[in-house]
Each structure stands twice: as structure tokens, then as C-alpha cells.
Structure 1
């Protein structure tokens, strides 16, 4: 049997090192699936329940392996479903290749069923490279360019294959004018700034008395270098959310997350520093960085378009985080003044006590912060953590103490709901011998994550480590938006938009062969985590949490406090003792007549 274009595609992807593809089948991509079958398991196909989830899995697979993530879908709606997950990869700078089917070449332009202008559809999300194949000999260089560009530029690329082309016999490009003869292979270069730029950056850092560092996803492979530079500078280290695992939280000068989901020590450090070193981070919220003119700045990033974007930097270094920091290290002078670092460490120690006090506050029935606080000391070595967007991300960001060897991620730039479970599935396929824990709100669970539990039920028996846990915060509320309405807009909760149905998530897990655990008492949270971690199969841990515990930023402006006051004056449908008491913890120092704790 002659090799088809579909067969060639699979062989070429295998030659590039692709071993897993996430997706969903359909007649627009049939011959590629036939080729995957004929390849005898060279590339494992992981069947998601929805193409959007497959794209999230490809994005997460790239995050947790550093390799190319690949997703596949049929024509029309299958291809369009990929887009949200692909934007997650695009905004978080992940190398992902999307392969989509298309209607027959002879039908294009004829308003045919499932005919969508896919090059136009993908043009923004896969703008680095998106091409529709028109001849068998073209497919070779399309695959080679799509993979090399995705890896080299850390971008999303897309190849569109008409279904009649997939089943044609493949032939190599001829040796004649108008043909291309591409090859396989890519090695990431060592990227380090010139010596003059390194010396300029070192001069700025050496002149600072109060140095703050902010590290992001670009620092995930630079842990030792980040710590060495911070120790020489006497700096504190704040972490953007995608950089949560960049440095361990057991270091006393690591201030934790920054921004809307951040910590008071991170905010205080940024407001008081005189020098800022930002490494591998596209952290978006400039209001949580020093005021313009307050601090001198140095930034390190592989992407030139991310430099001096959030804060006006004096030294902008294009380079790999670890390599550039190692090159900087001999040029940095050891700080002898200890008071700045001492102040940071005191703030961090006090903050951990504050978090504990908040976590054990009574709620109706369970304080959501307690869920992550109880998990933190029980985290297994090497665990991979994922979180959805929403109020659960606040507790993920603040309460979980990351140790060396752990991994953690979520939908960062896109901040999409519905990513935590597909991320956790991809994490397990990337590292099947490691435990995986996902934190999910009930809104995201209902949106699309429940269906992906069926994917877990399909595959979990092949994982050598069966520990895969999704914790559902069931508060019957789209909680993050509810609190944004109250604090940002001064509006009471709008039940019509915010209230969602109560669903027995743990029972659904049991229905499909997983383990279900239900908790509605605070004293049961810790034992429930221990039970889940000891289970012989994946677990859905459902905790009935209180929606009136406020997931608010570390610094509340006077305007936000006044907005919240107006919310109470207008009459919130959930107003009561709990909402007032929990809000007092955060707003008491600002509200007129209030007091801080």
C-alpha cells in the first residue's frame, strides 16, 4: 500500500519527536487518524471529550515538558473549537501545533457543509505560521516549518489539510523550480546579552539599596541562578502566577505571588524598593509594580517585545533567564547591608501567620481558604498542581507553599475558565509517575471540566501513579465575579448571573468509576486530603465552601472600600454576619470607623 499524505504527516511528526497528540476525530481529518492507527502506536492519540479541552491539553503538555504540544481536530466546528485553548498557548508563549482537517479542495468556495475559512480563523492565534496544504509535495515543508517555528519562537502554528489531500499518495518534492526540500531538527540556542549590556545592568543593580526581584514562567528553569543573584543583592523575590514554581516558598525572603491574587509582602516590597529586577515575566498589572520613577529597572526576557512593557527599564536584556543570570552573577557586588532583607523576611513571616488566621476563621460551612491551607503541608514531593480561573486561584496563589521539584501552572495570560482539569490530564500524560492535583471552582466544573472526568476514567489505569485529584470548591456562585462586582463596581450580587446549580460532583465521579469524597465540615478537610492522596484511583474531592469569604487583592484602595460600603448599603442578597466578619479582616483598616487586625 502506497504511503498517503496522512501517513507521511504522522511519520514526519514522529521524526520531529512528537509522541502524543491530543484531539477529537471527525471525517474532515479521517485519513490522518487512519495513519495514526497504521503507525502502530508510534504516536499516542489521547481522546479528549471536546476539541477546546484538547488544545488546553496541548498547551499544558508544552508547559510541563518543554516540548511541542500537538492537537488535532476535524474541519468546521472541530477546528473552531480549538481556538480558545490555542489562545491559552499563544498568550503564555507555549509551542503548540494545531492540525485541522478541511473540506475537499474541489468544494472550497462552494458554501459546502462545514466549510470554514480556516486560514483566516487561525490567522491571529497561529499568526506565526498557518498554511493550508494544496499538494502532497508541499506537506513536507509545511510540517518542518510549523514545528520549527513553534519551537523556535514559542508560538502557536497551524496546518490545515483538505480531506481529499490526506488520502492521496505522498511523493517527495521534485528537483525543479518552485519546490522546497526542507529538513528536520531544532536546537534551542544559548542566548546571552553582550558584555556591555551585562555591565550596565550590574551597575544599576549594584547601586540599589532596596532591590526587589519579580520572576515569572521564564525563570522556571533558573531556580539556582535566581536564588544566587537574590542572595548577592539582598533582594526579596516576588513571583508572577506562572512563575509560582520558579523558587521554593520555604526561602524566608520569597514574598509569594504578586498582583490581584498576590500577597501583602509582595505589594509592600514593590512599593518600597528602589531597584527592580524582572526576570522572565509578562506580569500584566503595572499598579502592583513600583511607581514610575521610584525604582531603577533591569529586565531579562527572551522575547524583545515583552521588554520595558510594564515598567520603564533602564537595562533591557534579551536572553535566557538562567544563562543571563549566571553571566550577571560575577558582576554583582555582595550587599552587606542586611536591613532591607530583614524587613522582607519579617513581613513574610507575619504574612504566613495572617494567612493561617484567615484560613481557620469560621465560615458556612467551610472556609475556602482552609481547603488550600490544609493541603499545603500535605503536598507530596514532585506534585504537579493546576488551578482554574476564579476565586480558587486566589487560594492557589497565596496558600500553597511550593517546594523544590514541584510544578504548577494555570491559564495565565488568557485566564480562561475550564483549563484546570485538561491541564491536570496533560500533566499526567507528561509525567505519569507523579501525583497531580487540580483546584477547580464549581462554575468551571459545570462549564466543561465535568466531561473531562470521563477522559480520566478512560485512561487512569495506564498511569503508574494513580494519584490524580480534582478538588471542587462548591459554593453555588461564580464567586470571583461576584466579589469583583461588589468591590470594583459597588454593586450587590446579581443572583440571575451569579448563582449556579448545586451539583453532586463527587457522586458523578463515583458513577464513572472514580472515587468521590464530600466535605462540609472544616475539621474534615485535612483528613479528606489524606484520604484522597491515599486512594487507589483518581478522586473528586468536593468541598462545600462559603461564597462570602472575600478573595480580594492584598491592597485595597479607598475607592474599593467605598464601593464595598455602597454594596452593603444597597443591600446584598447574601449580606450577613459572615460576609461582614470576613470582609472586616481585609477592609477593616480602610473602612470608615473600621479597625485592622
Structure 2
């Protein structure tokens, strides 16, 4: 049948099983939005307050569901407003397709109104991108975009479509899409046998999980592997939920704000197996002193990550689920009772740092522990970036994958509210809570109008300390307590702001109020805002300074001002 380019775009989205797109209309995508109106009974469009919010919502949708998120923007500033969201998805390997409009093909390169070379701009932060100048190439290019976004290591793909291409017509034939099979390994049998032999010879193995465990759907295989190896398990920020935090083998995060137990274990282990991780600088710290007694094995789907940040002794390249399946067949059950006894002793000696007694003042640790209890650890938690992000990772015990949604690699303030809406739309069966600091909240609070307009029942849990807490913490430790531009004191009335957006709100100023207010907020079936007023000098601990040895964390910060 003959369709316009705009209609072909929608038909291709339906081919891919897309049920929701996030975006903002404009001149270069008017034809596409006319098709969205035509197909409104088949595909849901959520208009955000800002294009960046659309990108973050598509990203959050993808992380919560495992599907490919889709966002749409017009040319020029509409397209450039997507860039931070695209870069966020790129750094964390999130499958997303961003569709942008552009000026008509004859006007390209003439500095036309709202023209920008968005494929050139996004080349470093996309897995691939396209500009389509012929409507006959449109359907196959869109199909290719979705295939690239989800094949191998996932990532964002941008498709730029000039306005006249969306207006032109050509023949379209619907295709049944076969989803790419990522279940493969590139490593030889001998490499698997070598790793299995290392495991059998190890007395003190250490398992470290990253986001690849989640994106490959390997949580079940990971749990079996940990049981077979009989080893402690630590996770990266992106790996939270890939292994049940409530399992006795779990020892907390590893890295800059990881637990003392994990830093001691990695320093004493004789075998370190990194699973679906890229060995971020925030994790390994000083490379020379990282896992000094251990043979290091790296399992990852992307060969480019092997030996990039740290030298490894053995590698297994492939989909994490496939690799773990093969290892689970090769590795006989191990017994490391003595090693795990030592781990338990460290857990007893070095519990996760708890803030000093603040009396009836609110502490984020208590709020998050109470939230975990009230939600039974089943909620989807999204975050902005800063101290609150680390507290959420430390004090909420994630049971399963896709519960923790955060900007790990890029560290994007303003990410969480958009992501929470995408997550809630993708998982309406889940309670979704966005953990924010007041600094991040001011970057994206306009998206409250999106939550209200579309009745997306997220809980916005705002920690208000009137400072940029994480930056202030660094200034205290490394910049002589010169708190340059980090004391905000904006005096925003968050209750009135929520009221302006027709959103119910609560304010917590005492520890004794926490449980009752959270219970009320969690009962809402509309978006709700909860402000928690906390002390500006509560810090995130432990903390390993950037580039320092991971076994020398800071456990206390003196406050004398």
C-alpha cells in the first residue's frame, strides 16, 4: 500500500511493538504529528514539558521494561535538547531510538531556519545515526535503527528525517520483525575451561556484577553462578538488582561509595570475576592497588571493553546470560565456608555507615530504610544525581533487575523525574518513586506538569538540604571548605509549587513524621510530592577519593563549622 513517510514511521513503530512515544511537536515534524493524530488509537504519545524530559522518559521506559524507548523532537533546538538524554542512554548502554525532524532536503546545508546537523552533533554519543533523504529508504532504515539499538551491547540510535521525506509517499509493505538473538559467545571452549579451572583452584573468589547482567536478562543465571562458586557478590551502581541485595552473599556496592566489606574483600580475594561491567574509574580507583592478589576475569559482550580500563588475565566475550549458562555447566559446586565466614565477620565489624544521632531530625538513611520497609523492597526507584542517588543505592535493598533506574555513567542531574514517568508508563503495575535532591529537582521540576497532565502516579521524594550536597562534600574534603556556589538557599516553597501543578504534597521536618507521611504518599493514585528537610552536612560515606586505593575509604568527616 502507498503511504506517506509520516505514516510509514508510525507503521514501523507498530511493527517493532512500540506502544508509547515521548516527544514534543514542531514545524519539521508536523507531518509526523499529523500521523500520530491519525494513529492515536494504536500508539500513545506523551508530550513532555521539554525535549530533554522526553529523552529521559524514553530512557526510563527502556530501563524499566527492557524494550526500546522512543522519543521525538523537531529540528534545531528541539533536536539539540535531546542530546543530553541521548548521551545519558549511551553511557549506560540503553536501547533507545530518537527520531528528529529536519528542514527539507533542498534546504540542508543552507543555515535554514531551525536547521542543525544533528547527526554530526550526536555522532560521539550514539551507537549509530542516520539521515534519510529518500522516502523509499525510510522503512528499512527505521528497522535497521531498532536492530542496532538492541543488538549486542545496547545503545541509542538517532534517525534524522527531513520534512519533505515525511510528506512524500511510496509503497510500504509491513514486515514481521524477528527480534535479534543476543544469546551468543565469541570465546573458545578452551577459554571457558581455563576460567572453570581458575574457579576450582580459587580459595577466595569475588563476583562483581554490572549493568550487563540486567540488560542480558541474566539474573537467574547469576544467582545460580554465585551459589555454585560459593562467593561474595558485589554490584556496580548500574548493576543494582542484578543480584538480590537481600541474599546473604551480597556485600554491597563496590567503589567510591561502596561498602567497607566490598573494599576489604576485593583487596584480599585471589580471583575477581567482573560480569557485564566496564570497570568504571569510580569503581577501580587506583589501578595499581586494585585486587592486588587476584587473577582477574572479565565477562562482557563488548570486546572493546576488555583491557580498556584495567588489565585482565582472562576474558569471556559474549552475552552474559549465555556465558554464565556455559560456566554453570562447567563449574562443580565449590565450598568457601572459611572465606564467607571472614566476609560475615567484616559485615559485623563494618556495617554500612549510619549517620550520627540527629534526634528527631530527618536523615535520608532513615527515610530510605523506611521506604524500603513500606514498599517491601518491590518499588521501582529512579534517582537524580548526587548524594541522594548514592543513599538510594546504599539503603534500598533491590530484589530484582530493573528496579533501580539512575544515570550512572554521565551523571545527569535532571534525569530522574523524566525517567520515573517513563518507568511508570512502562510498568503501571509497579510503585515508582523518584529520589531527588533540591539541586537536581530545580533542573527538571517543569516535568511535574507532564506527570499531572497524563496522570502518571509517581512519588517525587525530594531531599531538601539547600545545597549541592555532593559537590559541597568534595569542597569540604579537598577544597579547604570553600563552598563556592554550592550553598543554594533558594527558599523555594515546594508545597506551593506542587499546588501550582495541581499535585498533592507533604513536608517532613521530623523523623517522627516519616512513616506516616510516606504511607499517605504511597496510597495516592496520582503524582505526589514529598519534601524531606535534611541537614546540609549529612555526607555520603564511605567515600574513596578519586584515584585513591579502594581499600582506604574515608569513614568519617569532621564537621566543625
TM-score, reference length from structure 2? 0.92
Paired residue secondary structure (2:124)? coil
The alignment status of 1:188 with 2:181, answered yes or no, reads: yes
Equivalent residues of 1:267, 1:554 under 8 A apart: no
Task: Give the equivalent residue in structure 1 for 2:43.
Answer: 43
Paired residue secondary structure (1:46)? strand
Structure number, greater radius of gyration: 1
Task: Give the equivalent residue in structure 1 for 2:450.
Answer: 455
How far off is 1:519 after superposition?
Answer: 0.6
The alignment status of 1:401 with 2:397, answered yes or no, reads: yes
User: Within 2, Cα distance between the matches of 1:553 and 1:170?
Assistant: 60
Query: What 5-or-longer segments of structure 2 have no aligned partner?
Result: none
Task: Give the equivalent residue in structure 2 for 1:287.
Answer: 285
The alignment status of 1:485 with 2:485, answered yes or no, reads: no
User: Within 1, Cα distance between the matches of 2:336 and 2:239?
Assistant: 28
The alignment status of 1:505 with 2:500, answered yes or no, reads: no
Find 2:365's aligned residue among 363, 369, 372. 369
Instruction: Using the TM superposition, name which of 343-352 and 69-78 deviates more.
Output: 343-352
User: Within 2, Cα distance between the matches of 1:456 and 1:52?
Assistant: 15
Rate the CA distance shift 1:295–1:507 in 2: closer, same or farther, 3 A: same
User: Within 1, Cα distance between the matches of 2:35 and 2:348?
Assistant: 57
User: Within 2, Cα distance between the matches of 1:212 and 1:393?
Assistant: 25
User: Within 1, Cα distance between the matches of 2:393 and 2:239?
Assistant: 10
Paired residue secondary structure (1:70)? strand
| Cα distance per residue 1:531-562 (max 9 Å; x no partner) | 211234222110111110122434569999xx
Task: Give the equivalent residue in structure 2 for 1:246.
Answer: 242
Correspondences of 1:210-225 after superposition (within 5 Å): 210-220=204-214, 221-225=217-221
| Cα distance per residue 1:336-384 (max 9 Å; x no partner) | 34111111123234544x54xx246217942232221222222246311
Rate the CA distance shift 1:479–1:313 in 2: closer, same or farther, 3 A: same
Task: Give the equivalent residue in structure 1 for 2:52.
Answer: 52
How far off is 1:457 after superposition?
Answer: 0.3
Rate the CA distance shift 1:492–1:140 in 2: closer, same or farther, 3 A: same
The alignment status of 1:206 with 2:200, answered yes or no, reads: yes
Find 1:518's aligned residue among 494, 507, 522. 507
How far off is 1:94 after superposition?
Answer: 1.3
Correspondences of 1:294-313 after superposition (within 5 Å): 294-313=293-312
How far off is 1:386 after superposition?
Answer: 0.9
How far off is 1:65 after superposition?
Answer: 1.4
How far off is 1:587 after superposition?
Answer: 4.7
What CA RMSD, in Å, does the superposition of the two structures yield over aligned residues?
2.6
Find 2:526's aligned residue among 507, 516, 537. 537
Equivalent residues of 1:102, 1:163 under 8 A apart: yes
Correspondences of 1:75-474 after superposition (within 5 Å): 75-126=75-126, 128-153=127-152, 154-171=154-171, 184-192=177-185, 193-220=187-214, 221-285=217-281, 286-287=284-285, 291=290, 293-352=292-351, 354-355=352-353, 358-359=354-355, 361-362=357-358, 365-380=361-376, 382-404=378-400, 407-448=403-444, 450-460=445-455, 466=457, 468-474=458-464
How far off is 1:405 after superposition?
Answer: 7.1
Equivalent residues of 1:104, 1:164 under 8 A apart: yes
Query: What 5-or-longer segments of structure 1 have no aligned partner?
Result: 174-180, 565-582, 592-597
Rate the CA distance shift 1:556–1:481 in 2: closer, same or farther, 3 A: closer
Rate the CA distance shift 1:12–1:406 in 2: closer, same or farther, 3 A: closer
| Cα distance per residue 1:429-465 (max 9 Å; x no partner) | 11112111110000011012x11111110112xx6xx
Aligned residues: 549
Equivalent residues of 2:360, 2:512 under 8 A apart: no
User: Within 1, Cα distance between the matches of 2:451 and 2:475?
Assistant: 35
How far off is 1:78 after superposition?
Answer: 0.1
Correspondences of 1:9-28 after superposition (within 5 Å): 9-28=9-28
How far off is 1:306 after superposition?
Answer: 1.6
User: Within 1, Cα distance between the matches of 2:525 and 2:6?
Assistant: 39
Paired residue secondary structure (1:309)? coil
Equivalent residues of 1:204, 1:297 under 8 A apart: no
Paired residue secondary structure (2:151)? helix
User: Within 1, Cα distance between the matches of 2:179 and 2:398?
Assistant: 32
User: Within 1, Cα distance between the matches of 2:377 and 2:539?
Assistant: 30
| Cα distance per residue 1:153-182 (max 9 Å; x no partner) | 412211111112211223469xxxxxxx99
User: Within 1, Cα distance between the matches of 2:58 and 2:472?
Assistant: 31
TM-score, reference length from structure 1? 0.86
Looking at both structures, which has the greater relative contact order when contacts are Cα pairs under 8 Å and sequence separation is at least 6? 2
User: Within 1, Cα distance between the matches of 2:229 and 2:337?
Assistant: 10
Paired residue secondary structure (2:436)? strand
